Chains A and B, each alone.
Chain A
Amino acid sequence: TQLLEQSPQFLSIQEGENLTVYCNSSSVFSSLQWYRQEPGEGPVLLVTVVTGGEVKKLKRLTFQFGDARKDSSLHITAAQPGDTGLYLCAGAQSGGSNYKLTFGKGTLLTVNP
């Protein structure tokens, strides 16, 4: 069972459209991070959210952390071809020696010109 469920798994849209990607879990996280990965490269950190209910904006990207710190969403406004990539959410848990970052399987976004 995947600790973090991302949906949708694949998304293909036209330039200018809006979209939302979801990241859900039954576990509580100390923080939730979003990454974007392009082919042949490692993931690149977009944002870290820490407080339940927190909303962060990064240009056309809006990230929200659920009140219970179990889920998160990423909303992109007016998507552009440069937004194409694999979007990954990752939850951080810590308990003494049990620190680790667990990743969802990702949402592969394709924005067509």
Chain B
Amino acid sequence: KAGVTQTPRYLIKTRGQQVTLSCSPISGHRSVSWYQQTPGQGLQFLFEYFSETQRNKGNFPGRFSGRQFSNSRSEMNVSTLELGDSALYLCASSLGGVTNGYTFGSGTRLTVV
């Protein structure tokens, strides 16, 4: 079956702009989580959605937001981009239980200049 698809793979934006990243989970997976990965901080949890509801949110400013659609596809938005937002943004889907592993996409590499 198809894996988790993230688009775009690479993105270059200017400070102050906004960006929307997309994630299509594995068919049947209702949970989608987003992570920011940087060399210094590792994978930092952004938020998790399950059946269109945000179940949990990490410690990121309100500039970071997300949503999930009825077909489980998810988007995350970052407004007023800062240089420090440059990172690999990873999306992961799962069946949703604590014993179910995550399947990650290949990520979106965002560079803010």
Contact = CB atoms under 8 A, between A and B. Distances in A.
Contacts of B4: 42
A68 interface: no
Interface string B1-17: 00010000000000000
Interface in A18-35: 30-31, 33, 35
B104 A44 contact: yes
A113 interface: no
A100 B48 contact: yes
Nearest to B54: A97
Contacts of A102: 45
Nearest to B43: A103
A42 B101 contact: no
Contact of B55 (A33, A88, A97): A97
B101 A48 contact: yes
A90 B42 CA distance: 12
Interface in A53-102: 88, 90, 92-94, 97-102
Q: How large is the interface on B (under 10, 10 to 19, 20 to 34, 35 or more residues)?
A: 20 to 34
A45 B101 contact: yes
Contact of A100 (B41, B42, B45): B45
B21 interface: no
A42 B99 contact: no
Contacts of B42: 88, 103-106
B106 interface: yes
Contacts of B58: 100
Nearest to B39: A105
A54 B104 CA distance: 25
Contacts of B71: none
A99 B98 contact: yes
Q: Which 6 A-B pairs have the closest CB atoms?
A: A42-B104, A105-B42, A45-B101, A30-B98, A103-B43, A92-B98
Given A31-B98, A42-B90, A98-B56, 20 more contacts: A31-B99, A33-B102, A41-B107, A43-B90, A43-B102, A43-B104, A45-B102, A48-B99, A48-B100, A92-B98, A94-B98, A97-B55, A99-B48, A100-B45, A101-B45, A101-B92, A101-B102, A103-B35, A103-B42, A103-B43
